[in-house]
Amino acid sequence: MDSLYQLSILEAKEGIKKGSFSREELVKSVLSRIEEVEPKLNSFVSVNKEAVKDARKKDQEKEDKALSGIPVAIKEVLSTIDIKTTASSRVLENYYPAYDATVVAKLKENGAILIGKTNCDAFAFGASTENSGFGVSKNPYDLERVPGGSSGGSASAVAAGETIFALGTDTGGSIRQPASFCSITGLKPTYGACSRYGLLAMASSLDCPGPMTKTAEDAETVFNLIKGKDPKDATSVDFPEKKLQTGKIRIGLPKEYFSDGIDKEVKEAVLKAVKSFPEKDFEFTYVSLPNTGYAIEVYYIITPSEISSNMARYDGIRFGKERKYFEDEVKRRIMLGTYTLSAGYIDQFYLKASKVRRLITNDLENAFKKVDLIIGPVSPTPPFKIGEKTDDPLKMYLGDILTASANLAGIPGISVPCGFADKGLPIGMQIMGPRFSEELIFFVSKTFQTLTNWHKARPKI
């Protein structure tokens, strides 16, 4: 029973249903695993000490819900009632929300047990967790390397078995990139498919909560439970029901995603993964997304602009500490955003970026007239070393170049494990589709995971 923490959601559900183990035993296995590896990983900001009691109660009541007794870790930027939610920033280190984020409430309604809150870059501003006010999280495949960010704690926890699954948030790649770095599956849903209510906002037109799991099948299970319109979030929508298409699935490979700037091992792993798909069911062709090169410039104008507006609430009066406690990256993005929105510069920067955002969206829409989905790498490189990019913010920002376009266009994307670099470092493959194409993305991801075993790898920690 000691290794129950390694199970997927579906495996855990089946074991509980068969009586192979109890919910309490499952939770105890996960908590024991946290106690064992957390000193090395720093995946969590806090751990729920009441989780065993919750599991025992569910066992006694023989609760029959979709996720009954399944441990979940929640990224620290998602509100949890009466459980500290710090956004991994010292500004909010003593903040206890009075309500649950909608996506958290939906998981609880379906019987999931909150095992803890995971570390991230402060207010989700970053791509490595090195900007956290509570210390950097470590990659379980190499403790000298980052787990990615900003949802690095969630990715590290899932990969190391500190939870059965987790929730993260994705603003420019913050679910997909850490999922790639830690060899797990991570979905950035269509914008509006999952409610943002209770999410401490970063960039309101880009933020998306989503699942981080061991398999694509698990990600689909969680997504179907947390999606849907929420009266508390005006940007949320009813997810349209679509029939899965028949016939060959056309996959586009963007030329720009396999350019000279992409690490050789990353390119080779993704192209090798593509060959796993049977030719009778899948057709591959190269497509072009000519404005991809502008994605980072656009993203790092629009995002700080929205950040500067959202962060105005943290004034040290209503809640939280004084602004002097903001982490350096938080200050940097507030200043950048304030500058780009200031009189005399808003036309030059923000409005121009908004127009180019439309061009990037047009590129993707035109591509989806020719193909059903797009496949490419998630990150230009495998996981990098802690401290390698902290002195060069621009170098760090460039890590989002292959993921930011999906957020700018509001389309879904998933990262699935597809190989390892020579040093044993994980590599992820990204699958993107038109808005509300999650069902097709899941179908292709699950197909890939029936043909390969990359998703079954576990770190030796």
**CA distances from residue 227 to 103, 210, 266, 390 in whole angstroms, order as listed:** 8, 9, 32, 35
Neighbours of 238 (CB within 10 A): 10
Q: Is 75 a catalytic residue?
A: yes
Which of these is catalytic: 8, 22, 137, 150?
150
434 CB-near residues (< 8 Å, 6+ apart): 364, 365, 368, 411
CA-atom Rg of the chain in angstroms: 21
Q: Per DSSP, which regions of 207-290 are E strands? A: 208-213, 249-254, 282-287
Q: How far apart are the first and last CA of the chain?
A: 18
* Residue 159 to residue 214: CA distance in whole angstroms: 7
* Residue 208 to residue 307: CA distance in whole angstroms: 15
Q: Is 150 a catalytic residue?
A: yes
Phi then psi for residue 177, to 5 deg, are -65, -50
150 upstream amide cis, omega within 30 of 0: yes
* Residue 30 to residue 12: CA distance in whole angstroms: 12
Which of these is catalytic: 174, 180, 183, 195?
174
Which of these is catalytic: 28, 58, 75, 227?
75
Catalytic residues: 75, 150, 174
